[in-house]
Amino acid sequence: MSLVCANLVNPGGDAAALERSILCHAQYSLGRAWEELSARDRFAAVALAVRDRLLDVHFETERRYRQRDPKRLYYVSIEFLIGRSLASNLYSLGIRESCRQALSNLGVDLDLIEQGEPDAALGNGGLGRLAACFLDSLATLGMPGFGYGINYEYGLFRQEIDAGYQREKPDNWLARNSPWQIQRPDEACVVPVYGHVEHGVDRRGAYNPMWMDWKVLIGTPFDMLIPGYGGKTVNFLRLYSARSSNDFDMGIFNDGDYVKAVEQKIASETISKVLYPSESAASGQELRLVQEYFLVACTVRDIVRRFEQTHSSYCDFPFKVAIQMNDTHPALMVAELMRTLVDEKDLDWDQAWDITRETLAYTNHTLLPEALEKWPVPLMEHVLPRHLQIIYEINHRFLAEVRARQAAEQGADEGQIRRMSLIEESTPKQVRMANLAIVGSHSINGVSSIHTRLLTTLLVPDFYRLWPKRFNNKTNGVTQRRWLLAANPALAALICSAIGDGWIVDLPQIQAIERCASNTGFQQRFAQVKLANKERLAQIIRDVSHVRCDPASLFDIHAKRIHIYKRQLLKVLHIVHEYLSLIEDGRLPAQPRTFVFAGKAAPGYWLAKQIIKLIHNVGRVINSDTRARDWMKVAFVPDYRVSLAEKLIPAADLSEQISTAGTEASGTGNIKFALNGALTMGTLDGANIEIRQQVGAENIFTFGHTADEVRSLLRSRSYRPRDYYERDYRVKRVADAFRSNLFSPAEPDLFAWIYRLLLDENDDYLHLADLPAYLDAQEKAARVFQDTPAWTRMAILNVARTGHFSSDRTVCEYARDIWRIGPVL
């Protein structure tokens, strides 16, 4: 029997079977003997062997779903920040040790193979990573939930640093195809775009708008299998690539216009070519709008196709299909589903509208009004003429409903009508995607308690007053399988040795380690794990950032997208304060620290890129100053991504979550750090507030103005940064440092903008207002850190009390309150 046959008959999870599979794929899928494979191809051979096992469970899962015909959840997101898959797939299938043995027999270390996997960086940050965590939880809970996204050829750019400046390099993660992906060309779909609507009548004389002169995109699905922990359920993430069909181009080719044929092919494929960096995705960019529509159109086609395989009446649609829109990027779903039901399925408008609203739900992710998506009406008309018509009709009917309500209750209020309209009456007019998503959904949720409160009271209060029951909160969570079990195996093993492994699928069980929090032996083992993680990170910092740091120092980490509201600048102000206190006052810090930054700035976001330069310049001055050598180090670790986060987070002592209160919807980094035993230094923002409730105010460092205080200061225009500057010498000295060229001796005035920003009464992020309290909180943290048993106890309690923040809990809440789906086991 050949290797292939042996493999097909019995994949098996033992080491011998895995070894056979790996060799089989080396030889027959990759065409080389194992010994001749490159490191990348060895990873591919292992991944393909694992994929065989995933497929077996996937077939079994699909069979179960077909038998039971459950309601299915489709999670639609423009981003899925998957990261690496090999380790998590091995954990989920329970074959990691077998695989390690198999590879050992072949003379290779599994860890090296895992490290060789490129990140699937199909997202910018929290929103995309949340989507990936949800897929893990859905599969682990045995729920029929599937992701739908775009198969970007280029993920988020690779960040390199040149003389302190960020340089963006393309991340062509699909250059050699991903072994995890399965192409499904037979399920490709045709997507029309552009053209115009011709108003006519059908054969019965009824009004019939026809979409004419459209261009064609072809959406080809690629499936990535998503196993649940325990290996009982394998769902999928379906990612669409825009392809032009060679067949379709051949006509032009045969006419002799080869260049035109190639140009059309390239234009079509551009749609899924690149993920937009977050700040660059502002409305007005035609390609981005086409991308969003492409995702929505392909997804609806596929959902409808699946539904029609087993159902004939669209009355059943909301009982069999739930669609969650992850932010407004898929908000065109409202118009596309209506178009499908009315134009293609011949449903009348009211019935189609009821079905659409019962099916769709929307998650809001931002409180920054400027981040709410809008599309110019002329652009929408150019790209999606029929959809714009439908949006106008939705708006017309919706505003009539609001006017009727006003007439019956408080009387006419045109201001409210203007705010709630799907169309902003600006020049040019704009389609408000958040309003569209809200009007078309039966559920609208925020992602933390404070975010939902601010969403309903500040961002869209008119909608909340109209439909209070549609609004709800679903506080974010993270999957403990990736962020503790896989990212921090030593801590996971320590926890398992103390309380068993039930927490892996039921995170609240982790609370049982509270009883070990004061146990000296446990504390010592816990501290040893942390130290080992810090040593590993110190090595990485030495290798990539060329900074030598002491693993015994306090690792103070600020890792997230670079953005003014996340206040990396505030962290820098703290560092500068510590440094100036040391060199000017001779005041030694309470505790040696290593300040670690990581994060990407959107390529077009000047201020964020300047902050990266600032961090490097401050680091260069401090790291080269012999007076500070034993007390402070500053490191920027480039190219922040999931696999780097998996190294940074387990090594943190202090987790910086210092956004201006009222700006961060939830954050999930804060949760991941706490789960790994870092203490949070945070403002009362996003999920920090709930973390404080869970871990106890005595086990977290909070500081700064509350969201209500921030709002009050900004609304009353009473923020006077100069008062803080004059009142507190620490604030004055730090701000003045940026006028003195201390950190840019070779480039005078490089950072003068910082002084101006800090003292500008229009600094909406209130850096100086929060600085004194921040410095005080940092002093307190440093003092506590010196008491190792006390600090370690607090760290253990943080781990023990983060059970609430599993994405399993979040997904169960969505499933119960919004999707109405359950496990199918």
CB-nearer residue toward another protein: 185 or 500: 185
Judge whether 672 counts as a catalytic residue. Answer: yes
Q: Which residue has the tokens 């001055």?
A: 621
Query: Shortest approach of another protein to residue 213 CB, angstroms?
Result: 5
CA distance readout (Å), 434 to 467, 656, 777: 15, 30, 38
CB-nearer residue toward another protein: 389 or 740: 389
**Phi, psi angle pair for 775, to nearest 5°:** -60, -40
CB-nearer residue toward another protein: 310 or 718: 310
Q: Is residue 546 a contact partner of residue 552, using CB atoms and an 8 Å limit?
A: no
Those residues whose C-beta lies under 8 Å from the C-beta of residue 223, and which sit 6 or more positions away, are 181, 182, 184, 236, 237, 238, 239
**Helix or strand run (H / E) with residue 633:** strand 632-636
Those residues whose C-beta lies under 8 Å from the C-beta of residue 562, and which sit 6 or more positions away, are 568, 599, 600, 601, 605, 608, 609, 611, 612
DSSP class per residue in 91-109: HHHT-HHHHHHHHHHTT--
CB atoms within 10 A of CB 69: 12
Query: Shortest approach of another protein to residue 208 CB, angstroms?
Result: 5
Query: Shortest approach of another protein to residue 240 CB, angstroms?
Result: 17
Query: Shortest approach of another protein to residue 186 CB, angstroms?
Result: 11
Two structure tokens written together for 43: 């990873």
Catalytic residue among 456, 594, 663, 668: 668
CB-nearer residue toward another protein: 199 or 717: 199
Those residues whose C-beta lies under 8 Å from the C-beta of residue 218, and which sit 6 or more positions away, are 188, 189, 190, 191, 242, 243, 244, 245, 248, 268
Half-sphere exposure (Cβ direction) of 384: Cα atoms closer than 13 Å:
28
Residue 213 DSSP class:
S
Q: Which residue has the tokens 């299938």?
A: 93
Name 239's bridge partners. Answer: 149, 222
Query: Shortest approach of another protein to residue 290 CB, angstroms?
Result: 16
Helix (H, G, I), strand (E, B) or coil at 742: coil
- The pairing of beta strand 145-150 with beta strand 158-162: unpaired
Half-sphere exposure (Cβ direction) of 578: Cα atoms closer than 13 Å:
30
Judge whether 668 counts as a catalytic residue. Answer: yes
Two structure tokens written together for 584: 């000017």
Catalytic residue among 42, 616, 672, 804: 672
Helix (H, G, I), strand (E, B) or coil at 57: helix
**Helix or strand run (H / E) with residue 75:** strand 72-76
**Phi, psi angle pair for 14, to nearest 5°:** -80, 165
CB-nearer residue toward another protein: 202 or 350: 202
**Phi, psi angle pair for 637, to nearest 5°:** -95, 115
CB-nearer residue toward another protein: 214 or 392: 214
Q: Pick from 436, 523, 472: which is nearest to 799 by CA?
A: 523
Query: Shortest approach of another protein to residue 284 CB, angstroms?
Result: 26
What residues make contact with another protein under the rule CB under 8 A? 190, 192, 195, 200, 202-203, 206, 208-216, 245, 247-248, 251-252, 254-255, 343-344, 386
Q: Is residue 67 a contact partner of residue 53, using CB atoms and an 8 Å limit?
A: no
Residue 424's region, left for phi above 0, alpha for psi from -120 to 50, else beta, is beta
Q: Is residue 735 a contact partner of residue 755, using CB atoms and an 8 Å limit?
A: yes
Buried b (16+ CB within 10 A) or exposed e, 775-793: bebbeebbebbeeeeebbb
CB-nearer residue toward another protein: 390 or 758: 390
CB-nearer residue toward another protein: 342 or 754: 342
Those residues whose C-beta lies under 8 Å from the C-beta of residue 175, and which sit 6 or more positions away, are none
Query: Shortest approach of another protein to residue 215 CB, angstroms?
Result: 8
Half-sphere exposure (Cβ direction) of 763: Cα atoms closer than 13 Å:
24
CB-nearer residue toward another protein: 188 or 766: 188
Residue 199's Cβ-count burial label (10 Å; 0-12, 13-18, 19+) is exposed
Q: Is residue 656 a contact partner of residue 673, using CB atoms and an 8 Å limit?
A: no
Two structure tokens written together for 803: 């059970």
CB-nearer residue toward another protein: 270 or 389: 389
Catalytic residue among 84, 560, 613, 809: 560
Q: Is residue 399 a contact partner of residue 421, using CB atoms and an 8 Å limit?
A: yes
Judge whether 530 counts as a catalytic residue. Answer: no
Catalytic residue among 566, 647, 705, 801: 566
Rounded to whole angstroms, the Cα distance separating 297 from 192 reads 9
- The pairing of beta strand 234-243 with beta strand 423-424: unpaired
3-state helix, strand, coil in the chain (%, to 5): 55, 15, 30
Query: Shortest approach of another protein to residue 183 CB, angstroms?
Result: 18
CA distance readout (Å), 644 to 86, 179, 622, 666, 681: 15, 21, 24, 21, 21
Catalytic residue among 25, 51, 365, 432: 365
Query: Shortest approach of another protein to residue 292 CB, angstroms?
Result: 18
Judge whether 345 counts as a catalytic residue. Answer: no
CB-nearer residue toward another protein: 343 or 625: 343
Query: Shortest approach of another protein to residue 574 CB, angstroms?
Result: 57
Judge whether 311 counts as a catalytic residue. Answer: no
Rounded to whole angstroms, the Cα distance separating 257 from 215 reads 18
Query: Shortest approach of another protein to residue 322 CB, angstroms?
Result: 24
CB-nearer residue toward another protein: 65 or 214: 214
Judge whether 566 counts as a catalytic residue. Answer: yes
Catalytic residue among 58, 374, 432, 561: 561
Query: Shortest approach of another protein to residue 189 CB, angstroms?
Result: 8
Query: Shortest approach of another protein to residue 343 CB, angstroms?
Result: 5
CB-nearer residue toward another protein: 216 or 490: 216
Catalytic residues: 365, 560-561, 566, 668, 672
